[in-house]
Amino acid sequence: MRGAAALVALEAARKPARYLPPGAVVYHQEEPDDVAFNLISGWAMLTQSLPDGRRQVLRFLLPGAVFGPTPEGQALHGSAAEALTPAVLCVIPREGMTALRRHWPEFDDRLLWCIERDAELTAGLLTSVGQRTAIERVAYLLVELAMRALRRFPLRNGDTVALPLTQTLIAEATGLTAVHVNRMLRDLRQRQVAIFLQRRLTVLDAAALLALASLPPELPALWTGTSPFSFS
């Protein structure tokens, strides 16, 4: 089942779509879990916070992402979800997911694809925070998000892409301070590698940026693939 037929199955299972402004909370950490979400348009993110307020960005979500459902028996979300841009969400209650499985035979395979991809995205970010230098972490994040937004590899000189990030968000994703992120972005600009200004990335030297990001060979295909829950 593909395209229009898949949309029919989703329409029958979901609650009315949610339209969110930037900064709107989809759900809070430790909030009861009773629905799944399919991001139709816009950007969002998953974060985890410590009791003292420090926060780690776990994953950035782009259209097609499925998120929210926890394993059976786990009643609370272990992370929070927040819209980064104006966003539209398809909301699917647990009983709706049961109906989808009944009427859409490919549903479980597609959901598993999303879960496996998201695990790889999180593992890549964890490895970056734990092993890359500061400038490599920033380069890795910019390359990841640019490639996911463009759905294309490799990046090219002159590529420009809107990324709804602040320096604080980059810091929370890379394990750096905002001051350190500012220095790394300035370093990339001074090296004539890339410019990130007013939430827009411009690639000046794609080869140098990719070299700094030090990508494992399997990641480009993962980043540029189309989610099986994207129907555009």
Enter the tokens of residue 217: 């060979």
Percent of the chain with pLDDT over 90: 53
Would you say residue 102 has pLDDT above 80?
no
Domain 126-224 CATH assignment equals 3.50.50.60:
no
**All structural domains of the chain with their residue ranges:** 3-107, 126-224
The CATH number assigned to the domain with range 3-107 reads: 2.60.120.10
Instruction: Using pLDDT thresholds of 50, 70 and 90, give the confidence band for residue 232.
Output: very low
Instruction: Using pLDDT thresholds of 50, 70 and 90, give the confidence band for residue 98.
Output: confident
33 residue type, one letter? D
Tens digits of residue pLDDT in 149-197: 999 888 999 999 999 999 999 999 999 999 999 999 999 999 999 999 9
Alpha helices in the chain (DSSP H): 3-13, 94-103, 107-131, 134-150, 167-174, 178-190, 206-213, 219-224
Measured distance CA(65)–CA(89) in Å, rounded: 10
Tens digits of residue pLDDT in 185-215: 999 999 999 999 999 999 999 999 999 998 8
Mean pLDDT calculated for residue range 108-115:
76
Measured distance CA(151)–CA(226) in Å, rounded: 8
Measured distance CA(59)–CA(81) in Å, rounded: 10
Query: How many Cβ atoms from other residues are within 10 Å of residue 146's Cβ?
Result: 24
